[in-house]
Structure 1
Amino acid sequence: MARLDREARALYEMCALALVESRANLDGADEVGFDIDLPIFSVGRTAELANIHPQTLRQYDRLGLIEPQRTGGGARRYSLRDIDRLVQAQRLSQEESVNLAGIARILDLQEENRQLRREIKRLSRPNGSSIFAADADGDIIEVQRSNQARLWRHEIQVHRRELTSGRSGGDMPQYPEDEKSVVLWSEYLD
C-alpha cells in the first residue's frame, strides 16, 4: 500500500469523488499530477467512494473486469484508474443494460482511446523536447530532455560561438552530473 501523508490522501479521495460524480476525468487528474495508477484505496474505502457494495468489487476482480493491485499480504488496493473503471462499469450495467463481457470490451476500448489521445498529445509537443536512444535490449526509447540539459546545450552553443569568434572567456561548460549518458553527450555535441 502506498504511504501518503494525510493531505495527499485527502486530495486523492477528493479526486476519486470528482471521478465518481463525473466532475473530473482521468486525463485531467493525470495532467494535474495525480498518479492515476497509485494503489491507495482499500476495498471498504473504494466501496464507499464509488457507492458500490464491497462484494461487487470482489466479484469484478474475480471476473477480471477491475483488477486492483495487491499488498504483500494479498489485500486489494484500488487506484484512481480502478475507481474510474468501476464507475463506468456500474453506469454501463445499470443505465445501459450492458452485460459484463460488453462492459469489459467497452472499458478496454476506452482505455486504448485514452492512451492514443495521450500519445497524440505527446507527439504534438514542439520538436526538440525529446531525444531517442537505445535501451539495453537495443529497442528505441524516448528520453525527455531536462531543463538542466537544455541549459547546458545552450551554454555549449554560446561557448562555440565565442570560440569561433575568438572571444572565449572561460572554460567549457560542464556536463550535467545527473545525465551522464553517452547517447545524450553525443547528441548534444551535434
Structure 2
Amino acid sequence: MDDRTHPRRPAPAGDGGGDPAGDPRRAPVTGERAELRIEARIEAAGQAGIDADAPLFVISVAAQLAGMHAQTLRSYDREGLVSPGRSSGGGRRYSQRDIELLREVQRLSQDDGVNRAGIRRIIELEAQVDALRARLAELSVENAELRADLVQSRMDAANAAANAVAGLRRDVVPWRTTAGDVAPWLRPPRRG
C-alpha cells in the first residue's frame, strides 16, 4: 500500500497527494485557529447586515464557538437557559446572540461559581433590563418629539396672535373711560 493512500499514515510534507495534511491550504483547522475563523465570519455577517438573532449555526459549531461540549448545549436547552431556534427538520440552530449568551452562562458558571438557578435568574433580569432600556429609548424619542411639537405650537400661537392684532382695523380707537363716566357709550368719541 502506498504512503499516500494509507489511512493512518500522512503523505510526505509538500506532496499534497489527496491527504489534507500534505497541503497546508486544505489542512483541517482546529482549536484557536478555527475559533478565530468562525469569529471572523460572525463579525463579517454582522457587518453585512445579518441579524444577530438569525439562527445560523448548528449545534457542533455553536459548541465550538462557546468552548463547550454539544451535550452541555442540549442540557442548557432542556433547562431553558439558552433556547436556540429550530430548523424545519427540528435541529437546533444557534444565533450569534445565542452564542454570546452561552459564553456568558459558561463564565457565570465556571468563573463566578453561580449555579444554574442563579444563572437563569440573572438571564431573566438582564432581559428585563434590556426591555426597560429599549422602552426608555422609545420614551426619550417620544418626549423629544412632544417637546418639538410644543415649541412649534407656541410659535404658531404667537404668530396667530400677532396676525390677529395686525389685522385689527386701524380706524377703530379703543375706548377709554374715566372713573366718573356712568354710560360712556352714549357720548360721541372725540375727533382730533
Q: TM-score, normalised by structure 2?
A: 0.49
Q: Highest CA radius of gyration, 1 or 2?
A: 2
The structure showing larger relative contact order (alpha-carbon pairs under 8 Å, at least 6 residues apart) is 1
Task: Name the structure with the higher strand share.
Answer: 1
